[in-house]
Structures are given as C-alpha cells and as structure tokens.
Structure 1
Amino acid sequence: MEKTFIVLSEKKWHKQVYAALKLKFGEFKWVLIDQKEEFNLVNLENLKPEKIFIPHWSYIIPASIYENYECIVFHMTDLPYGRGGSPLQNLIVRGKTETKISALRVEKGLDTGDIYLKKPLSLSGTAEEIFIRSSSIIEQMIEEIVSENPSPKKQEGEIVLFQRRKPEESNIESISETKEVYDYIRMLDCEGYPNAYLENESFKFEFFNATESSNNEIIANVRIIKK
C-alpha cells in the first residue's frame, strides 16, 4: 500500500517544501494541508497518513489527532530550552544569534515530546528571512526522517519556558539602545506579526525593512496609521 505523508502549514513558503518533497519522494503520496477546516479526523481517516509533518501551525492540534497519528512539529529552539510561544522573538530579545530547530513528536504537553533530530539555524536577518531559511532546513529534516525513520528520544537538559509575546510588547518606546531597536524591528518583520511601533495620541508608527548604518543609526520604512 502506498504511504501517505502530510505537510501541515499555513505559511506560503512551506508550499515549496511540499513541492520539493513530492518531487524527491515520488513513490509516496504527499498532501499539503494549509487550511484549518481541512485538518480534521474525517480527512485523516481517508488519507491514513504515515506521518504528519508540521513546519508551522497556529492552531491547537486536538488529542484525537496526535494520539492516533504520528505528528511531528518543528520548533525553533534547542529543546527543552525554549518550550512555549514566540520562540524566534524570545531568542532574539535574549541576545541569541544561533539556535537549533528541533523536530519533535506532538503530545499533550507544550513542546515536551520526544526528539527525532535537531539542526542548527542562524538568527540573522528579518523574521521572514529567518523563517524562509528555516524552511530549507526543515525540508532536509523531513527528508532524513522519511529516509531513515529515526526513533525519537526523550528530551535532555534544563527546561526553560518561553511565554507567547503580546502585541503591546512590540512597542519600542522604552528601548534606549540602537541595537535593541534594530532587533525589535527585524524580529517582527514578517507577515502575521505585529510590527515594532511607536505611537502618540493621533498616530501609530509601524517600522519594517530596517538596516543598521555604520554611525550607530537605523534606517527603516515606517507605516503611519491614523488612530
């Protein structure tokens, strides 16, 4: 019987990952799910997937799914360091320049599942550039899991929890260092994230496309929104 693998992500850059995997592993059936309403037990019972690979998904995965199907999520920290939400932003505000992508099995606890493998990732550039860079690494990780079928292992090391960042934490009003302002702008410069901003009584100023100059200045685009 032909094996079926699912790629689950609502991000546009993961469509290329799906296409590449479908081309490389033509002997298998590959299915891309990018809509919440399509990810349900009825569809999964029809597809009977061998594994469900999850590069990015903004919704809670029900126990009825992860208890019945092997769901593998890709988290942008060296687990168990950085369990929790907003991993990219939490890493950058902590001054990290490198991280690892952890491929782990989905279970009840948040990012507590067993680890299949890890790969290094640079945190340079904007959030979108980092996510696009990570997608090629995730593609390689999926290839390795499909080809070698590694057994996942328990997480080891000190547990560090991240909290999901709130939109109001994108306000740069209280920041006094140029480098920190630059990091805030770049780490939020991606579709679906609240841009770094300043505001007064009448306007909100959102910043993106930031670059650092040699004389300790930042050049960035600004979107001015009437409140």
Structure 2
Amino acid sequence: MWAHNPRQLEELIGQEDSIRYIFFLHWNWLVPEDIWKNHESVCFHMTDVPYGRGGSPLQNLIVRGHKDTKLTALRMVREMDAGPVYVKRDLSLKGTAAEIYQRAGELSFEIIQWIVGNQPEPEPQSGEPVVFKRRKPEQSILPGTGSLEGLYDHIRMLDAPTYPLAFIEYGEFVIEFSDARVEGQELNASVKIRKKQNQGQS
C-alpha cells in the first residue's frame, strides 16, 4: 500500500491491524511521534551517516567534491537522520540530479526487499556527526567564477523537478540552465528564459 501525504498515511495505519514496517521514500512531511514510536519506520538518506545528516544531501555532497556516496536505510527517531542503520549501499553521483534520484529510488526498492526478507536489527551510528544545511533558492544562482567543471556540477546537481534550476538574472529576465555537458573547452546547456515576476525565487 502507498500513502502520498500525511492524511493518507494516517488512514492506512488506521485500517491495518498489524504493520511490520513503514518505509518512507521522498517523504517531505514531519512524521508524528506516535507513528515512528509504535511502528518500525524506515527512511532513506543519501549519505554515509553520521556524515551528511540534514538537508539537501545530494547538492551538499557534490558541492564538496564527492563522486559517490552511500544510500543509507535507517530507523526513524526524534533527531533527524540520527537513527540506527539497517544497511548502506553504494550510490554513484554521476549525471543530473534527476538521474541520481532515479538510481536512488531503484536502489531503495532493492533495500526494501532485502529488509523485508532478512529483518535485520539496525545498528547505532558511530563517529562524529557532520550536519548539512538545507540549501536556499538563492544558492541556485550560477557562480560568476570558477572552472567549467564547477559550473557543470552546479547545473547538474539542481537539474531535477524538486529544486530551482541553476539560474542568472539579466535585467527583467531569469535565465535557467539544465542538461549541462562539458565538451572540450566548452560547457553546453539548455536555456530557458522567463520574466522575473514569474520566477518564484523569493
């Protein structure tokens, strides 16, 4: 069964007598304490926790120069991304954000099948936590200095429906970039131009 919002989740839980696991994929809402305390709730995070707890993990990893990461399945607790870990799997950070999210989604389903089949006991995280801050829309502005590779990374890490695309402002217009590729000494990308008042970046 699937729930796409908190109301549906509450309804489904109310209809079921016994629930072994609740898996949360791309869930954007706070999960009530009575749910994760009373049901084994498993979420997925795109870092090798405790490194990279917090917001915008994909973008924060690429900004820091990472080429690959771990997709971690962990049990929900009160503190964000601090729960015990069921399993970690390798995840490449190549390609656009949309492509990376697609790979992560496919890997998540593999992990779900493994957890259901093996019912592992999650193990506490070890090491010093490194917490990422959630990125703000204005951080999507294309930097004015740096390398072509850096510009490429900036564009591709935002190239997904869930984030503001990399952009610059030019007079009354906003110019957005996607589908970036480095070819020799050039960076090519698709460009979309629109009026500022429609940008929704504030």
Q: Partner letter of residue 43 of structure 2? A: V
* Pair 1:46-2:32 in alignment: no
Q: Say which SS state the counterpart of residue 38 (structure 2) adopts.
A: coil
CA contact (8 A) 2:3 2:12 kept: no
Percent sequence identity is: 43
Q: Which runs of 4+ in 1 moved over 4 A?
A: none
C-alpha distance in 1, partners of 2:14/2:4?
Answer: 18
- Shift in Å at residue 82 of structure 1? 0.2
* Pair 1:218-2:187 in alignment: yes
C-alpha distance in 1, partners of 2:89/2:168?
Answer: 36
Q: Partner letter of residue 76 of structure 1? A: M
Write out aligned runs for 1:137-216 (5 A): 137-215=107-185
* Equivalent of 1:102 in 72, 75, 89: 72
CA contact (8 A) 2:174 2:195 kept: yes
TM-score, normalised on structure 2? 0.93
Unmatched 5+ stretches in structure 2? 197-202
* Equivalent of 1:69 in 26, 36, 39: 39
- Shift in Å at residue 182 of structure 1? 0.5
- Shift in Å at residue 178 of structure 1? 1.1
1:37 is matched with 7
Deviations 1:130-189 (A, max 9, x none): 011111211111111001000001001221110000000000143322111110110010
Report how many residues are paired: 195
After superposing the two structures, state which structure 1 stretch, 104-113 or 192-201, moved more: 192-201
- Shift in Å at residue 208 of structure 1? 0.5
1:136 is matched with 106
State the superposition RMSD in angstroms: 1.1
Q: Partner letter of residue 62 of structure 1? A: P
After superposing the two structures, state which structure 1 stretch, 86-95 or 54-63, moved more: 54-63
Q: Say which SS state the counterpart of residue 154 (structure 2) adopts.
A: helix
Unmatched 5+ stretches in structure 1? 1-30
Q: Partner letter of residue 185 of structure 1? A: I
Q: Say which SS state the counterpart of residue 181 (structure 1) adopts.
A: helix
Q: Partner letter of residue 133 of structure 1? A: R
2:30 is matched with 60
C-alpha distance in 2, partners of 1:203/1:176?
Answer: 24
After superposing the two structures, state which structure 1 stretch, 48-57 or 125-134, moved more: 48-57
